[in-house]
Amino acid sequence: MTDVTTGLRSLTDKLGVDIDPELLSLALTHRSWAYENGQVPHNERLEFLGDSVLGQAVTVRLYTRHPDLEEGALAKRRAAVVSTVALAEVARRIGLGEHIKLGRGEELTGGRDKDSILADTTEAVIGASYLSAGADAASALVLRLIDPLLDDPERYGAAMDPKTALQEFAARGGLQPPAYEIASSGPDHDRRFTATVRVGDVAREGTGTSKKHAEMAAALTAWKDLSGRA
């Protein structure tokens, strides 16, 4: 048995669903690898399918688990747990990154741990499970992967939109709205920004290549500290 075959079997065991090896290999093929190897097929069509399966399974679970929540609250929770941030956490939990086939450029720039690549590959694997084992097995896989996230959807919503999350947290606590200050450094072609956000007695910093990214980084750090979430 080859190392590749062993790796795929190990991943299949973690997923708990019998996925056709060729489909699983396709689900793990990033477009960067495909382009460097003769324009072979890559995983974006499976990602498209998996996104739909994921959305339906999560929607049904939220609807049945929370009969008291209005549509808007359900939609917010769904968006949080199917976000790139949340799906990347799922991928890291099952060690998906080590199995992805990446081109040289992505490999050199840390593609195996990029949220976007991990999230897209997770959706592709879900798509492959649908084609291999059917709708029920694919939905069951989604729920095994996503259920741990459903306990704290606010955390993933904050990662998607930290400034709004921090503002809502401050409002609930009777605090003044967050106030931001921006400083910059470096030459024009390599400008770095540092944002400081103040909420009550708390001040936290974040950095980024734009004012927006710096403010988001500061807001997420402040929200995590104030809410007690790691």
Radius of gyration of the chain (CA): 20
- 168: Cβ contacts below 8 Å, ≥ 6 apart: none
- 147: Cβ contacts below 8 Å, ≥ 6 apart: 61
Distance CA 44, CA 141 (A): 19
Contact 222, 204 (CB under 8 A): yes
Tallying the residues shown for the chain, one arrives at 230
Is 123 assigned a catalytic role? yes
Tokens coding 217: 């980084």
CA 84 vs CA 6, 62, 63, 150: distances in Å: 28, 19, 22, 15
Catalytic annotation, pick one of 107, 113, 115, 123: 123
SS (H, E, C) 193-204: EEEEEEECCEEE
The dihedrals phi and psi of 51, each to the nearest 5 degrees, come to -60, -40
Q: Is 123 annotated as a binding residue?
A: yes
What is the layout of strands, in order, in the sheet containing 192-199?
Answer: 179-185, 192-199, 202-208
Catalytic annotation, pick one of 22, 36, 44, 51: 51
Is 201 assigned a catalytic role? no
By annotation, the residues acting in catalysis are 51, 123
- Which residues make up each annotated binding site for Mg(2+)? 47, 120, 123
As annotated, the binding site includes 47, 120, 123
